[in-house]
Structure 1
Amino acid sequence: MPVIVMMNPKGGTGKTTSALLLAQALSKHSQVAIVDCDRNENILRWQDNRKSLDRPMPFAVLSAPADDAEKVMDIIIEAEDGHDYVIVDLEGVKTQTATFALGRAHFVLVPIKPSSMEISLAGVAVQHIKGTSKVFQREIPFAILLNRTNAAFATHRERELRSQLDEAGVPMVPVTIMQREAYANMFEDGEMIEEMDLNDTPRTKALDNRDAYADAVIAMIQQIEGK
């Protein structure tokens, strides 16, 4: 079963939001587990908030100690048995745990915000992925995921960054995760986007973006598996 790893050695790039949105979308038709390796434990808190309101869990959330690489590996392997997708949310540092998790990955997403500084730091993540590929003697497919983009239109900066990545031959997820209030608010009460008390238009736009992002990721994985 595909293991999808969210990886960027910089914090605050949207790894946890990207992981949670992907799990929500995939759980509509698949058995999904998220392995929370982030010391901030935001996904675990999302789960606790959800349970406190007696909401059913749409997918499994597994806690993994960020400083115990072997234990994280065991948890990922165990999660692969019985789930269609395993999503691993790594903390924003370069660690042995990240290397071990990358070694299990079928696909790696590198979330970044649309800025030149983020592109530069993403290069560190890409080098880590490529270095891990050499260690495990296999290709580890990856793609850059633009996060917190303008919901109204693609800005000049976003278009410029896309052009730079394209010219460098760096794969990108064709759908960006847009800046949506719903994505920030979902952590407060352990909500799925579908459950939020929003007007129809904001909820629909957030759902459409979430699901388009998930569809794009799965299409990339299927294309890789079909090679």
Structure 2
Amino acid sequence: LPFDRHLSPQNVRKVVSEADGYQPHLIAPEQGYRRLIDSALNYFRGPAEASVDAVHFVLKELVRRSIGETQELKRFPTLQSEIAAAANEALERFRDDSKKTTMRLVEMESSYLTVDFFRKLPQDIERVGNPTAPSAADRYTEGHFRRIGSNVSSYVGMVSETLKNTIPKAVVHCQVKEAKRSLLDHFYAQLGKKEGKQLAQLLDEDPMLMERRQQCAKRLELYKSARDEIDSVSWTR
């Protein structure tokens, strides 16, 4: 990520000056800090989306291999393709939800800064007796803007560590866990609404074979009925 270029003294000076406008800041360039942090955190959007896409690719590959290696499904190519399409459609939904969640995590860090982090910075400087603490005289020197860039870099590093923990959790929760729990739930619901002819089409069943199977089922019912009658006559004797 191009943080070195983004937090260079030249760019920090430019951003702070633009944030100040016609009236320079009095104590600390708060608006400049906010702009620098907000634009720096935007760089996390790309890696967050890449994490979601990487997991999505792995899940799609697992589904493809699982369906392809299931011997029972090879007898029914239409059903096999329908299951694959339904699984991929579900994975797409999970990916969209995961992207929304990860983007919210990044936006949360950008919209609300951890103020205590910056409140501790002057105390730390005073505690170690740093003679280079910024004053009104050097407020617009390169050293001043370097300190601003360093502070922003430290804050972005802290946020980075937080997102390293939260984004994988969001990805697992929205994609991996959902795929394990409800990958084909929608497909099962749609399958339950299909009629006998539609189910037969999914199974690629030969019409003559289907008719013969139905005849066998009817004969089986007749045999069962005859057996029950024979049993009832035997008991009456």
TM-score (norm 2): 0.21
Q: Which protein is richer in helix relative to its size? A: 2
Q: Which protein is richer in strand relative to its size? A: 1
Larger RCO (CA within 8 A; separation ≥ 6)? 2
Task: Indicate the structure (1 or 2) with the bigger Cα radius of gyration.
Answer: 2
TM-score (norm 1): 0.22
